[in-house]
Amino acid sequence: MTILQEEPAIEPMADAPTPLDGEGFRRAGYALIDWIAEYRATVGQRAVAHHCEPGSIRAMLPPRAPQCGEAMNTILGDLDRVVMPGIVHWQHPGWFAYFPANSSFESILGELASAGLGVQGMMWSTSPACTELETHVLDWLVHALGLPERFLSSGAGGGVLQDTASSAVLVTMVAARERFTGFRSDLRGLGAWEEKARSRSVVVYTSDQAHSSVEKAARIAGIGKEFVRLIPCDRQGAMRADLLAAQMELDRAQGHLPAFVCASVGTTGVNAIDPVAEIAAVCAAMRDPESGATPWLHVDAAMSGTAALCEEFRFVTMGAEHADSWCFNPHKWMPVNFDCDVLWIADRAELVRALSVLPEYLRNTATESGKVIDYRDWQIPLGRRFRALKLWFVLRSFGIEALAAMVRGHVAMAQSLAISVRANEKLLLVTEPALNLVAIAHRDGDEATQRLIDAVNRSGSCFVSHCRFHGQLVLRVSIGALATTQLHVDTLQRLLEHETAS
Amino acid sequence: MTILQEEPAIEPMADAPTPLDGEGFRRAGYALIDWIAEYRATVGQRAVAHHCEPGSIRAMLPPRAPQCGEAMNTILGDLDRVVMPGIVHWQHPGWFAYFPANSSFESILGELASAGLGVQGMMWSTSPACTELETHVLDWLVHALGLPERFLSSGAGGGVLQDTASSAVLVTMVAARERFTGFRSDLRGLGAWEEKARSRSVVVYTSDQAHSSVEKAARIAGIGKEFVRLIPCDRQGAMRADLLAAQMELDRAQGHLPAFVCASVGTTGVNAIDPVAEIAAVCAAMRDPESGATPWLHVDAAMSGTAALCEEFRFVTMGAEHADSWCFNPHKWMPVNFDCDVLWIADRAELVRALSVLPEYLRNTATESGKVIDYRDWQIPLGRRFRALKLWFVLRSFGIEALAAMVRGHVAMAQSLAISVRANEKLLLVTEPALNLVAIAHRDGDEATQRLIDAVNRSGSCFVSHCRFHGQLVLRVSIGALATTQLHVDTLQRLLEHETAS
C-alpha cells in the first residue's frame, strides 16, 4: 500500500523579529494553526509509523544552540524537515495501538489559552479561576459519568487533575500507607515508624494484569516490589476477589498491613474489568482490628472510564460508591490532549495531610481562612498549569451527547471487528470485548500472531500493539482515536483477512 | 492608582460547527492567537492581582455540563467573562512575586505545536523525534550554561525534562536511597530491606532555607520527615558545610545512612547560593565504608540556573562537576512556559534502574537494541508529551545572546533597586542580592514590613511576595518577568519611597 507523504507546508511569511513581538506572534500563530489544521486533515494519508534509525533525528540538528536568534519561519519549517520524520502518528485514524491519545481541536485551543495566560494554580490565591474552574468541571464530570456523590467537592471529597494515572496511584498509595501507619511513617519513615517495623510491612494489592504504574509507585513510596501482591485473574483477565481475600488474610496472619488495593477498570492488556464491588467487600471485611481502618480502594479506569458517559456502559462505575478514589484519563479516550488525569477522592483529608507542606513563603489569608482548595496539597509538584481550561473547552464544545456518541461509535466498531474475528477460522478472540478493545490471536500460535502484527504495522494504514495474556501473544486493537471511522476498522479487518487467507 | 480594566474582546466570528472541524479550528485558533497577543499587549494596564471572593468564579458557571455543544465563540468569550476575574497576572511587567513564570510567545507556539502533533514520548519508539530532540537540546544547554561534560548524553549521563523541580528531587532521592540500600529497599521496602532496618535509616540533608519539595519528597519516598536534616545557614542564607559534615558524622555514628544532599543554588526565600563545591567535598569524605558509595549530591538551581547563560554569573554552576544531578527550571527565568524542568544526571544507571518497569506491552526492538533512550524510565509517569519543542523554539528564536541579555538586564534592575534600598534610611537590605532577587525589610520591624507589602500589592501596578529570614519578615522582590523593564522597577521603587516617607 502506497502512502502519500505530502507535507503540509508552512505558509511563507515575511520574517518576524526575533524574539517575536506581538505582531510576529500573530503571524507565526496563524501559520502554526494552519499547519495543525492541515496536518490533521491529511494525517490519514501518512504511514502511521515508519522506520527511523536511532540518531537520525539528532543528526539533522546543529551541535550547538544558536548564539543569535533565528527566524520563526525557519523554525516552523523545521517541524516538517526535522521533526516529522521521527513522528509516529498517534492522531492517525488507523491508530489502534496502546491507547487513544486524543488531542481534539478544542483541547489544543484550551492548552493554547492556558499557555497564553501563563498563570500558576498551586494555590487558590495565585489565580482563583484556575482552582475554581478545575473543581467545578470535575464536579460536572461526577454527574456526567454517573459517579457517586461522595466524589463531589461539596462534601468531604472532590476531584483534582494529575498529569497521569501513574501519579494518581502514587499519591493515593502514599495516603493509604499513612492511613495504616497512623501518619507515623510520614514522620519517621517506613524503616522506623514503630518498634516492630522490620517484621511489619505495608502491603499493596493489584492484579497480575494491572498497569506497571502500581509496582512503580510502591517502589517509589518505599514499600518495595515484594510487597506488591499481583493477584491472579480469571479467564477474562479480571482480578479474582476470592484470591485477593486469601492473600490479604495470609499477609495479616504474618503481621503485615494490607493497606491499598488498585482495581483496574480496563486492564492495560485486554481491557478486562475487575469486580470492584466484590473487591470493595473484601476490603470492608479486612478492617484493621487496631485502627479500624480498611484498605484504601483505588480504581484505575484510565481509558475505559470515559465509557461511563453512556448509561449502557455504566458497568465501568459499578462499585465506585465503595472506592476511596477513582481515576480516569480524559487524555485517552475523552478527547483532551495529554496530560489530563482526573482523580477523585472520597475523603480528601488523608491525601491532603500526606502531601501538605506549608512553608512561610506560601502562607496567605485565603489558605488560612480554610474556605479554599490549594491543589498543591493534592499532588507531587508544587507548580501547576491551568489544565482545567482544555477540559472545559472540550466538554462545552462537544457537549455530553456528542462525547457519548463518539464512545458508542467506537464500541460498535470494536464489536464489528470482533464479529469478523469470530468468523475467521484462523483467528481467535482472546477475550470477549466489553468495550473498545479487541484482543486477537492467531490459532497457529505466537509466531503466526507476530507475523500478523508485523504485517498490519508494515501496511502503514493502521498500527496495533501487543500484549501477553495467560502466556499467549495477543494482537491488541484499541479503537478510540477521534478520527477513526468504520472505514478504518474495515481496512484493518481486510488486512487481517488477507494475511490469514490460505 | 487607577487601573484600566479594558478587556480584549474576542473578535466576532460566524458560529463554527460543534465539535469543531478544521475550518472552525482555524477561525477559533486565529481569534485565540489574537486574544493572547492583545492580552499580553495590555496586561501591564491591569491590576496584577485583585480581590476575589472564594466561590465567585464557580458562581458564574452552570451546575451541569451542557448536553449539546456550545459555539466556540461563546466559550472563548467566557475567557473574558468568567476566567479573567479570577486571574492573577503572572505575565504582568510588575510581577515581582514568587518567581518569574515566563511564558514567551515562542514557548506558547512550542506548546501549541506539541498539542497539535499529539504524540507520546514515553519510549523512543513511540515517536523518535520526541526523545531525540529532548536529548539534543538538553546537550545544547550543557554547553550554553557551561555545565560539566559529564552531564552530556554522550557519556554515562544525560538530561531529561521533568514537570517540576519537585519531581526532580523526588526521583533523584529515590535513586540515592537505592544506592545506599543496594537496591534492597526497591525490592523489600524501607521497612524490611535488611535485618537491622529499624535502627538504620536513610537520611537526607538540605538547608533550613531549601524549598519545601525536599521534605515532601522524603515523605513520599518513605524516608520520613524526621530523617530530613535541615542544616542551618550562614547570615546570607547559604548552607553551612561544616554543620552538614558534623550532622552526617553524627548520623553515621548512630548507624544511619547519609544518602542524599540537596544543595540550593538560589534558595526560595532570599536566593542564597549554597557552597556546592564545599558540600561536594563533605560528601566525598563521607564515603560509606561498606559499599564505597558517597551521598548523592543534587543541586536545585530552579530559578537561578538560567543565570549561567552569562559568563559573569557562572558562580551558579560552581561545584557542578562534583554533583550527581543538577536541575533548573526553564519555566521560571528562562522564558519557557510551565511545565519544563531540566534534570541532568552524571550517571543515569542508578536512576533508570530505580524507575524501570518493563511490562510485556511496552517491549519493542528499539528498546531491546540498547541504542535508544526510553524516558519513561527517567520519570514518575509513563506518558509524556513533546515538551522539548517549546525549549527548542525558545532557544532558537531568542538565541543564547538575547537570553543572556535578558538575564543581565534583570540583574541590573535588581542592583538598581538594591542601591535605592540602601539609600533609604527606613529600609534594610536583608541580604546582598547575588542576582535578581532583592530581600527588603522595614527597619521598624515586621508590622511595618507587612504594611509595606500590603501597600505595594494594593497599588495594582506591582506585586511582591514575602518570606521569613532568620525570623524577620521580608518583602521579597523577584525581578525576572520577560515584560519587566527598568520603568516597572522604578515604579516599585517610588512606591517604597512614598510609603516610607515620613
- Residue bearing cell 554515562: B156
- Rounded Cα distance between A27 and A20, Å, is 10
Q: How many CB atoms lie within 10 A of CB A234?
A: 14
Phi, psi of B4 (to 5 degrees): -65, 135
Q: Using a CB-CB distance cutoff of 8 angstroms, which residues of chain A are in contact with residue B383?
A: 101, 163-164, 166, 331, 338-339
pLDDT for residue A329: 98
B75 to A396: CB separation less than 8 angstroms, yes or no: yes
**Partner-chain residue, chosen from B87, B185, B359, that has the shortest CB–CB distance to A117:** B87
B187 to A225: CB separation less than 8 angstroms, yes or no: yes
Give the residue from B56, B53, B20, B69 showing the smallest Cα distance to A136.
B56
B11-to-A389, B43, B73 alpha-carbon distances in Å: 20, 18, 9
Give which of A162, A360, A368 to mutate to test B binding, by max B Cβ within 10 Å: A360
pLDDT at B6 over 60: no
Q: Model pTM? A: 0.96
ipTM: 0.96
CA distance B30 to chain A (A): 6
- Rounded Cα distance between A141 and B117, Å, is 27
What confidence tens digit (pLDDT) does each residue in A4-16 have?
A: 444 445 554 556 7
Q: Identify the sign of the CA torsion A18, A23, A29, A32.
A: negative
Contact B190, B223 (CB under 8 A): yes
What mean pLDDT do residues B102-120 have? Answer: 98
CA atoms within 13 A on the CB side of A107: 26
pLDDT for residue A367: 85
B118 to A102: CB separation less than 8 angstroms, yes or no: yes
Following DSSP, what letter does each residue of A104-141 receive, concatenated? -HHHHHHHHHHHHH----SSGGG-HHHHHHHHHHHHHH
What mean pLDDT do residues B161-166 have? Answer: 97
**What is the side-by-side strand order in the sheet with A463-469?**
A95-96, A463-469, A472-478, A437-442, A427-429
pLDDT for residue A5: 45
- Rounded Cα distance between B105 and B88, Å, is 19
B164 to A111: CB separation less than 8 angstroms, yes or no: no
pLDDT for residue B3: 44
What confidence tens digit (pLDDT) does each residue in A163-214 have?
A: 999 999 999 999 999 999 999 999 989 887 766 655 789 999 999 999 999 9
What confidence tens digit (pLDDT) does each residue in A85-144 have?
A: 999 999 999 999 999 999 999 999 999 999 999 999 999 999 999 999 999 999 999 999
Cβ–Cβ pairs < 8 A, chains A and B: 556
Long-range own/partner contacts, residues B498-502 (CB < 8 A, 24 or more apart) = B499/B451, B499/B452, B499/B455, B499/B456, B500/B424, B500/B426, B500/B427, B500/B442, B500/B452, B502/B426
- Residue bearing cell 510487597: A227
Q: Using a CB-CB distance cutoff of 8 angstroms, which residues of chain A are in contact with residue B89?
A: 119
pLDDT at B362 over 50: yes
Fold for the domain defined by B1-89: dopa decarboxylase, N-terminal domain (1.20.1340)
B109 to A25: CB separation less than 8 angstroms, yes or no: yes
pLDDT at B465 over 70: yes
Residue environment code for A283-302, b if the CB has 16+ CB neighbours within 10 A, otherwise e: beebeeeeeebbbbbbbbbb
- Rounded Cα distance between A81 and B491, Å, is 46
pLDDT category, B15, cuts 50, 70, 90?
A: low
**Partner-chain residue, chosen from B129, B366, B467, that has the shortest CB–CB distance to A87:** B129
Mean pLDDT of chain A: 94
pLDDT category, B363, cuts 50, 70, 90?
A: confident
CA distance B44 to chain A (A): 13
**CATH class given for the domain over A114-392:** alpha beta
What confidence tens digit (pLDDT) does each residue in B270-325 have?
A: 999 999 999 999 999 999 888 899 999 999 999 999 999 999 999 999 999 999 99
Quick check: helix, strand or coil at residue A257? strand
A338 to B383: CB separation less than 8 angstroms, yes or no: yes
pLDDT at B1 over 60: no
- In CATH terms, the superfamily for domain A399-500 is Aspartate Aminotransferase, domain 1 (3.90.1150.10)
Strands A95-96 and A463-469: parallel
Strands B325-328 and B296-300: parallel
**Partner-chain residue, chosen from A75, A190, A382, that has the shortest CB–CB distance to B189:** A190
pLDDT category, B175, cuts 50, 70, 90?
A: very high
Residue environment code for B185-198, b if the CB has 16+ CB neighbours within 10 A, otherwise e: bbbbbbbbbeeebb
- Rounded Cα distance between B157 and B139, Å, is 10
CA distance A333 to chain B (A): 13
Contact A431, A500 (CB under 8 A): no
A363-to-A119, B53, B452, B466 alpha-carbon distances in Å: 18, 17, 17, 9
- Sequence spans of domains, chain A: 9-87, 114-392, 399-500
Give the residue from A387, A292, A396, A382 showing the smallest Cα distance to A342.
A387
**Partner-chain residue, chosen from B61, B98, B380, that has the shortest CB–CB distance to A220:** B380
What confidence tens digit (pLDDT) does each residue in A354-392 have?
A: 999 888 878 888 888 889 999 999 999 999 999 999 999
Q: Using a CB-CB distance cutoff of 8 angstroms, which residues of chain B are in contact with residue A21?
A: 105
| Host H or E run for residue B406 | helix B388-423
Question: Where does residue A471 rank: exposed (0-12), middle (13-18), buried (19+ CB within 10 A)?
Answer: exposed
A120 to B113: CB separation less than 8 angstroms, yes or no: no
pLDDT category, A496, cuts 50, 70, 90?
A: very high
pLDDT category, B367, cuts 50, 70, 90?
A: confident
Q: How many CB atoms lie within 10 A of CB B139?
A: 23
CA A296 from centre of chain: 21
B112 to A115: CB separation less than 8 angstroms, yes or no: yes
Q: Using a CB-CB distance cutoff of 8 angstroms, which residues of chain B are in contact with residue A67?
A: 399-401
CATH of domain A9-87: 1.20.1340.10
Phi, psi of B55 (to 5 degrees): 95, -10
Give the residue from A16, A501, A2, A480 showing the smallest Cα distance to A266.
A480
Following DSSP, what letter does each residue of B242-256 receive, concatenated? HHHHHHHHHHHHTT-
What confidence tens digit (pLDDT) does each residue in B56-94 have?
A: 999 999 999 999 999 999 999 999 999 999 999 999 999
What confidence tens digit (pLDDT) does each residue in B190-235 have?
A: 887 766 655 789 999 999 999 999 999 999 999 999 999 999 999 9
**Partner-chain residue, chosen from A64, A82, A398, that has the shortest CB–CB distance to B19:** A398
pLDDT at A491 over 60: yes
Give which of B25, B123, B164, B458 to mutate to test A binding, by max A Cβ within 10 Å: B25
What confidence tens digit (pLDDT) does each residue in A252-301 have?
A: 999 999 999 999 999 999 999 999 999 999 999 999 888 899 999 999 99
For residue A122, what is its C-alpha cell? 498551586
What mean pLDDT do residues B40-54 have? Answer: 94
Q: Using a CB-CB distance cutoff of 8 angstroms, which residues of chain B are in contact with residue A350?
A: none
B202 to A191: CB separation less than 8 angstroms, yes or no: yes
**Partner-chain residue, chosen from B61, B103, B190, that has the shortest CB–CB distance to A115:** B103
Give which of A163, A227, A327 to mutate to test B binding, by max B Cβ within 10 Å: A163
Strands B341-345 and B325-328: antiparallel
For residue A199, what is its C-alpha cell? 517484621
Give the residue from B38, B113, B86 showing the smallest Cα distance to B394.
B113
Q: Using a CB-CB distance cutoff of 8 angstroms, which residues of chain B are in contact with residue A69?
A: 396-399, 402
What confidence tens digit (pLDDT) does each residue in A291-346 have?
A: 899 999 999 999 999 999 999 999 999 999 999 999 999 999 999 999 999 999 99
CA distance B9 to chain A (A): 14
Percent of the residues in chain B that have a pLDDT greater than 90, as a whole number: 89
What confidence tens digit (pLDDT) does each residue in A41-71 have?
A: 999 999 999 889 999 999 999 999 999 999 9
Indicate the DSSP class of residue B233: B
- Rounded Cα distance between A332 and A336, Å, is 7
CA distance B175 to chain A (A): 9
pLDDT for residue A362: 82
For residue B225, what is its C-alpha cell? 520527615
B214: nearest CA partner in chain A: A357
Indicate the DSSP class of residue B82: I
CA distance A454 to chain B (A): 12
- Rounded Cα distance between A233 and B134, Å, is 39
What confidence tens digit (pLDDT) does each residue in A435-480 have?
A: 999 999 999 999 999 999 999 999 999 999 999 999 999 999 999 9
A257: nearest CA partner in chain B: B191
B194: nearest CA partner in chain A: A198
pLDDT at B5 over 50: no
Fold for the domain defined by B136-392: Aspartate Aminotransferase; domain 2 (3.40.640)
